[in-house]
Structure 1
Amino acid sequence: MSSNEIKTPAPRRLPGNLKVIALIIVAIAGAVVAYGLISRSRDKAALVSQAQERLIPIVKVIQPASRADAQPLTLPGTLQAFYSATVYARVSGYLKHWSVDIGAPVKSGQQLADIETPELDQQLKQSEANLETALANERLTEITSKRWQHLLASDSVSQQEADEKSGDYDAKKALSSAARADVDRLRVLESFKRITAPFDGVVTARKTDIGALINAGHDSGHELFTVADVHKLRLYVNVPQSYANLIQVGMKAKLDVPEHPGQTFDALLANNSRSVSEGSGTILVELEVDNKDGKLLPGEYGNVHFDLPRDMKAVQVPASALSFRKEGLTIATLTPDNRVAFRVVKISHDLGTVVEIDSGLAATDRLIDNPPDSLENGDQVRPAAEPAPSSTASAGGAKS
């Protein structure tokens, strides 16, 4: 070997423990890479699951209310006198004087006013004179008839002459009866000069005064007084047709009026018109209200409160739970697995913010309040009260 040749040193071999260390490092690196891949896959799956969960709409779930207590109903009503009579004159003349004014209590037959009737007085005097004349003629013909009957018995007069005298007597008697009837008629009219109250009550109107010209009758004259019996009042209420089958004769109600705040009056349903008004779609009912203390006035209005029996099958839901779809009026219900099922319902009574459903729902059903228009049958939803699924929580933990 020449001196110029370079000697290559022999490779050095690693000790055995260094090989083990290298293998461990490689394994750790592989584990880190594998863990990263698995973690990234988990994060991706969690994100997909979270996105899917976010696509499921969150809804507010409510339940129908089932009530067995009475159903309140308040309607406006009008009070009227139990009896009310407008008093007209039956004879013509001039008002001589009146003795009662508006607001005065009167008894049946009590004098309200007097009418001066000079023409009627003269007619009565003439009729009485005619009656006296007729009676005198009747007496004369009666005597003559009897005399001719005696003469007929002795054959002093003919049968024809006796019959004529008897017939004359009958005619005069009939004239006397006619004259007497005319006198009686005028005397009855004379009694109408005294205007009286038809029944116990209160004078609610006086439309005449001393010296006023009075014309007899309803057509040619005007009313003189109005008398109302207010010991009991009639209360008239127009009830909507939807409540017609719940309004029964004999049921009780409460009345309140503006001038007596905080006070109610008992009323009893006495009559039902049994007919629906075409113009208003309501039924007129009549109630009776005791008014012995005189606190209530005829002609005023008030609020009438009914306690109607409820339909035990009916349930109440908020009006916001209703939705109008092509099937009609519907309500969105939830199946046990939280899927949407629309049901067609029928409203029995609309109470404003709350409606009463008489078919299509049960008290145990779960409903969606204010359902979105995008919901369809079978859609998955999540009630707002339920917590989010655990996958969402695990996804958040992986991110952190």
Structure 2
Amino acid sequence: MKKLLYSLSLLAGSALLLPACSSDEHSKKTETETTQTASGAAYQTIPVSVETRAKQLALPGEFVPYYDVALYAKVNGFIKSMPVDVGAKVQKGQLLATMEAPELESDLSRTLSDLTAAKGRLNISKSNYRRLQQAAQTAGAVAPQELEQAHAVVMGDSADVNSQQQRVAAARQMKQYLMLRAPFNGVVTERILSPGALVGPTQKDAQPMLKLKEIGRLRLQVTVPEVYAGQIRQNAPVTFSVNAFPGKTFTGKINRISYNVERSVRAELIEIEVKNPGLQLMPGMYATVGFPVQRQSKSFYVPKSAVVVSMEGSYVIAVVNGKTHWITVQTGNESGDQVEVIGSLKPSDRVLVKASDDIRDNIAIQTVAEPSIAQNHE
């Protein structure tokens, strides 16, 4: 009897323990699944630094040609010859390509023939008019109406001659269009078509024959953030450096100001005219431009690695309540491994130290704080 009671007690205890163990294992499993889903790696964050730094503003710029044109055929025809190729330095008015169009030659010949015939008719009508004038000196020899009719014929033939002369001039001008000439001094940067190609304005999907750029002078274009736009002045001196020439500093001045802040980037476009006689600088090169402006108010600084530059623009990734928030910024002064950022930031914001465009907006991530960089540094 005692053995039976003892066995029943053991069975009851086991039954009570089994649900507890099952519940505990389920809790641990759920916790592990949640951690894996929500985090992965933990990202380091750092607060933005609020500082006042009196340094020259450095902004990126890009060189573009002073003039840039794609040259198309103005009349229909075939390319006969093209004596220039990529890299050719050409002068204004230089022949770049010759086309042939037999129908234009025919038009010119026809208009010349029509002009010759019109001149012949005018000579005859003038001769008749002069004879009638001489005969009219004898009273009653020529009726006044006949004389007026002869004069009207002379005027009509004269107008016809003028019309034919204009047609000849137009035909000659059309023939001139068979010769493609350089509209300015420059360099041929692309040759799209070759001799034998059919060209003309009536062709479907017409292509340019050549692309010509003036690079003896360049435009250095820079977008200046809105907060600095009021400090930019016409003809103010600037310095700039180019990655292709490390250690070399170039000088220039602000030649053109757009006086327009683009809403998409909240920045103003300015241009610096750069003389380039040796053709060392080329369109498409980037430059770092220093402007004689200084920030008198406090600015936000973050590590350079915190700024993402992608197709969506430049931004930092702030973390609020465990979720990412892209904040569009523009960069300004650089100091060591830090860069000034201009955007909708607050001193209390924490941003990812190492941001990338792989980290999407409005997703939950795990973070770990990094030691703060100096804040409110005067």
Distance in 2 (CA, whole Å) between partners of 1:226 and 1:249 is 32
Q: Which runs of 5+ in 1 are unaligned?
A: 1-63, 320-348, 357-368, 372-400
What corresponds to 2:11 in structure 1?
none
What corresponds to 2:322 in structure 1?
none
Distance in 2 (CA, whole Å) between partners of 1:161 and 1:350 is 92
- Of all paired residues, the percent bearing the same amino acid is 29
Q: CA deviation at 1:218?
A: 9.9
Task: Tell me which stretches of 4 or more aligned residues in structure 1 moved more than 6 Å.
Answer: 64-67, 217-220, 315-319, 353-356
Pairing of 1:19-168 with structure 2 (within 5 A): 71-154=55-138, 155-168=140-153
Q: Give the partner amino acid of 2:67.
A: Y
What corresponds to 2:281 in structure 1?
296
Distance in 1 (CA, whole Å) between partners of 2:255 and 2:107 is 49
What corresponds to 2:224 in structure 1?
239
Q: Deviations over 1:158-212 (max 9, x none)?
A: 1111101110110011001100110011112212222111121111121211111
RMSD of Structure 2 on Structure 1 (CA): 2.9
1:190 matches 2:175? yes
Q: Deviations over 1:14-70 (max 9, x none)?
A: xxxxxxxxxxxxxxxxxxxxxxxxxxxxxxxxxxxxxxxxxxxxxxxxxx9877xx6
The structure with higher relative contact order (CA 8 Å, sep 6+) is: 2
Distance in 1 (CA, whole Å) between partners of 2:267 and 2:163 is 56
Distance in 1 (CA, whole Å) between partners of 2:289 and 2:262 is 20
What corresponds to 2:246 in structure 1?
261
Out of 140, 146, 169, the residue aligned to residue 154 of structure 2 is 169
What corresponds to 1:346 in structure 2?
none
For the residue of structure 2 that corresponds to 1:89, the secondary structure is coil
Q: CA deviation at 1:100?
A: 0.5
Shift in CA distance, 65/116, structure 1 to aligned 2, threshold 3 Å:
closer
TM-score, normalised on structure 1? 0.60
Q: Deviations over 1:367-399 (max 9, x none)?
A: xx769xxxxxxxxxxxxxxxxxxxxxxxxxxxx
Distance in 2 (CA, whole Å) between partners of 1:173 and 1:196 is 36
Q: Which runs of 5+ in 2 are unaligned?
A: 1-49, 303-331, 343-373
Shift in CA distance, 228/127, structure 1 to aligned 2, threshold 3 Å:
same
- Count of residues paired in the alignment: 263
8 Å contact kept, 2:58–2:333: no
8 Å contact kept, 1:266–1:290: no
Distance in 2 (CA, whole Å) between partners of 1:129 and 1:117 is 19
Distance in 1 (CA, whole Å) between partners of 2:117 and 2:278 is 59
Distance in 1 (CA, whole Å) between partners of 2:204 and 2:223 is 32
Q: Deviations over 1:66-100 (max 9, x none)?
A: 77xx6222222121111223222222211101000
Q: Deviations over 1:311-333 (max 9, x none)?
A: 4xx568988xxxxxxxxxxxxxx
Q: CA deviation at 1:271?
A: 0.8
For the residue of structure 1 that corresponds to 2:85, the secondary structure is coil
Out of 240, 249, 272, the residue aligned to residue 234 of structure 2 is 249
Pairing of 1:340-359 with structure 2 (within 5 A): none
Shift in CA distance, 355/183, structure 1 to aligned 2, threshold 3 Å:
closer
Distance in 1 (CA, whole Å) between partners of 2:208 and 2:301 is 55
Distance in 1 (CA, whole Å) between partners of 2:136 and 2:101 is 52
Question: Which is further off, 102-111 or 264-273?
Answer: 264-273
TM-score, normalised on structure 2? 0.63
Q: Give the partner amino acid of 2:174.
A: L
Question: Which is further off, 70-79 or 127-136?
Answer: 70-79
Q: Which has the larger radius of gyration?
A: 1
For the residue of structure 2 that corresponds to 1:91, the secondary structure is coil
For the residue of structure 2 that corresponds to 1:285, the secondary structure is strand
For the residue of structure 1 that corresponds to 2:164, the secondary structure is helix
Distance in 2 (CA, whole Å) between partners of 1:289 and 1:275 is 22
